[in-house]
Structures are given as C-alpha cells and as structure tokens.
C-alpha cells in the first residue's frame, strides 16, 4: 500500500512540468508580441548602426557597395590630426553651440516657468512660449535671418534708431555663431518651460506655507525649496537639451548655408552632412558621427554624476 509521501513523489513532477510548460508558453507568446517591435529596431537601428560602424573604418563614396575599401583607423587619424578642421573650429563650435543654447534656454525657462505658475491664465502663457516648438526650424531660421539682415532687418533698424551702428550678425565671424545660439535658445525655451512647469506643480504647497510661517523670503524659498525639488526636471531638460544641441545642424544650415563665414558657424552635424552628401566621403562622415557619439555619452555621464552627487538618483 502506497503512503502519502509516495503519492506526493509520484504526482509532484507532472505539476512542475505543467507549470514549466505554461511559463514557457507565456514567454513564447510574449516574444511573439514583441517580434514586430524587435524587427523594427533590428532593421532601422541595429543594422544601420552596425553598417555605419563598419563604414567608419572604410573608404566609400556611397551607393555602390562593391566600392567599399577597408582603411582601418585612417579615417579617425585624419579627423583627429592637427591639420584637421574637425577639432578646431568645428568641434569647439559644436560645444559652444550646445552649451550656449542650453545655458540661455535653461536660465530663461526656469525664470519663465517660475513666473507663469504664479500668474493667471497659466495655460495661455505656457502655450505662447511653446509656439516656437510647433514651428518648423526652416521657418524660424528664415524669419530670424531676415531680422538679422544688415539691410533693413528689424534688429538693425532698432539699433539704428537707438543711434548704434549696423551689425552684420551673420556675416561677421565674431558674431555669427552667437547670433545662431540666441535663436536656438529662443526656440528651445518652450519645451523646457513645459517640463519645468510640470515639475513646479509637483512641489507640495505645504512646504511653501511652512516656510512662510517661519518668515522665509521669496528668494530663500526659491533657492532652498524650489530649486532642490526641481532637480529631476532640471536634469531631464539639461540632458535632452545638450544632446539636441550637440546633434543640431538644421538651424545653422538654414541661416548660413554652409556653416560660414569660413567655418565660423560650422558644427559637427553639418560637417557630417557635407562630408556625406557634398563630398561623398561616407567613411569620414561615419567616423565623425561615432566621435560625436562618444562626446555625447561622456557629457551625459558627467551630468548624471553631478546630479547624483546632488541627490538625484534617477529621473
């Protein structure tokens, strides 16, 4: 006669096998649902990324795959050599453009977001500042290009009325890049205001009420309550802003055409575009792209490290 332990030993394995089969079936079904997304990423992200990495070590004029010639690290050596214009001024222009855009737009966005959350018709003001974001970069660039025009442009007309001389904003190498940075920062304020406003609304009002009872001034509440609790939103704005700034080139192309005068406004993205589509040097263009990727990765890692030391663990 079988005891209870013998029956357990006999019946337990089929139950475990059944559960295992059920989990395996669920896993298979899960992967089947994910298959279209995984296929999309494989076709439009992984394959182009791997091909670009391969091309960065090759010489290729485009279109004809049989003309690809392996050159090893030669593209990277040419780009990073002392005689190359990529390090100076193109890379320095790229960093100046990205950091200048983020700095101006971030400071303006913090001030604007803090002010409009204390105004009536908050939605109207938020929409007003967000309008540049729904306007194409080509339209924004052309409008500002006419405003900068030394012959009848709005900004020079105002300067002349104030008794100041005409400024060739986009034709002078000393002012051209800064003029584009101002436009880029103006266009980026809207999205930053939207995110920072949401972050401000997440700060409990009880903190401000307690601070008022303790006699804290508005400036003290801003520095000791608003800014510390706004750090996650600030981190997101700074990281996405810098990544966008380091990759941006459309505005420069619209306002200057080829990154001129000289290379005064040429940035990494525009140089990559010119190398690929103007000079058919796809290997050089891909190598520049991966160098820029490393720079973006390092800058983002430094930002995360700084904010984590300040108490932000994640966003």
The verdict on 30 and 179 lying in the same domain is no
What mean pLDDT is predicted for residues 277-289? 92
Say if 2 falls within a structural domain. Answer: no
Inter-residue contact 200 to 225 (CB < 8 Å) = no
pLDDT at 132: 79
Q: Is residue 177 pLDDT above 90, yes or no?
A: yes
Residues 186 and 51 in one domain: no
Residues 67, 95 share a domain: no
Q: Tell me whether residue 280 is in a domain.
A: no
Instruction: Specify if 8 maps to a domain.
Output: no
Give the pLDDT mean for 180-197.
90
Is 3 inside any structural domain? no
pLDDT of residue 120: 81
Average pLDDT, the chain: 86
User: What pLDDT does 231 receive?
Assistant: 85
**pLDDT for 197-206, tens place per residue?**
888 888 888 8
pLDDT at residue 2 in the model = 52
Range of the domain at 211: 88-268+296-309
The answer, yes or no, to whether residue 287 has pLDDT greater than 90, is yes
Domain contains 115: yes
Instruction: Inform me whether the pLDDT recorded for 23 exceeds 90.
Output: no
25, pLDDT greater than 60: yes
pLDDT-derived band at 9 (thresholds 50, 70, 90) equals: low
For residues 203 and 243, membership in a common domain is answered with yes
Residues 96 and 167 in one domain: yes
- Per-residue pLDDT of 27-69, as tens digits, reads 888 889 999 988 988 888 899 899 999 999 999 888 888 888 9
CA–CA separation, 157 vs 179, rounded Å?
16
30 shares a domain with 132: no
Q: What is the rounded CA–CA span in Å between residue 196 and residue 207? A: 18
Q: What is the pLDDT of residue 178?
A: 94
Q: Do 42 and 157 reside in the same domain of the chain?
A: no
Give the CA distances from residue 193 to residues 85, 112, 116, 241, in Å, rounded to whole numbers and listed in that order. 36, 7, 9, 12
Domain match, 172 and 139 both: yes
Question: What's 116's domain CATH number?
Answer: 1.10.3720.10
Select from 36, 71, 106 the last residue of a domain: 71
One domain for residues 141 and 245: yes
Q: Is residue 219 part of a domain?
A: yes
**Which pLDDT band holds residue 11 (cuts at 50, 70, 90)?**
low
When divided into structural domains, the chain yields a total of 2
Say yes or no: 100 and 133 in one domain.
yes
* pLDDT at position 142: 92
């Amino acid at each position: 006669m079988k005891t209870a332990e013998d029956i357990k030993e006999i019946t337990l394995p089929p139950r475990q096998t059944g559960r295992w089969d059920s989990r395996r079936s669920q896993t298979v079904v899960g992967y089947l649902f994910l298959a279209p997304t995984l296929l999309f990423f494989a076709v439009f992200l992984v394959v182009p990324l791997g091909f670009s990495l391969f091309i960065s070590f090759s010489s290729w004029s485009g279109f004809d795959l049989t003309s690809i010639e392996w050159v090893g690290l030669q593209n990277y050596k040419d780009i990073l050599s002392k005689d190359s214009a990529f390090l100076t001024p193109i890379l320095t222009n790229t960093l100046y453009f990205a950091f200048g855009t983020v700095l101006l737009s971030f400071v303006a966005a913090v001030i604007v977001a803090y002010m409009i959350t204390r105004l009536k018709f908050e939605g109207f003001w938020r929409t007003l500042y967000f309008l540049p974001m729904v306007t194409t970069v080509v339209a924004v660039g052309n409008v500002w290009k006419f405003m900068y025009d030394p012959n009848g442009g709005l900004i020079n007309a105002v300067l002349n009325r104030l008794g100041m001389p005409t400024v060739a904003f986009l034709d002078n190498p000393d002012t051209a890049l800064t003029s584009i940075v101002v436009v880029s920062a103006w266009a980026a304020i809207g999205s930053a205001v939207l995110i920072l406003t949401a972050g401000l609304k997440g700060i409990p009002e009880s903190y401000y009420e307690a601070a008022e009872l303790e006699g804290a001034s508005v400036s003290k509440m801003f520095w000791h309550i608003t800014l510390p609790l706004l750090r996650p939103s600030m981190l997101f704005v700074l990281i996405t802003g810098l990544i966008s700034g380091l990759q941006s080139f459309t505005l420069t192309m619209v306002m200057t055409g080829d990154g001129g005068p000289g290379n005064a406004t040429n940035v990494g993205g525009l140089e990559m575009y010119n190398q690929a589509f103007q000079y058919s040097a796809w290997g050089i263009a891909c190598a520049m792209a991966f160098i820029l990727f490393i720079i973006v990765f390092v800058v983002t890692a430094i930002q995360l490290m700084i904010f984590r030391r300040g108490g932000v663990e994640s966003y």
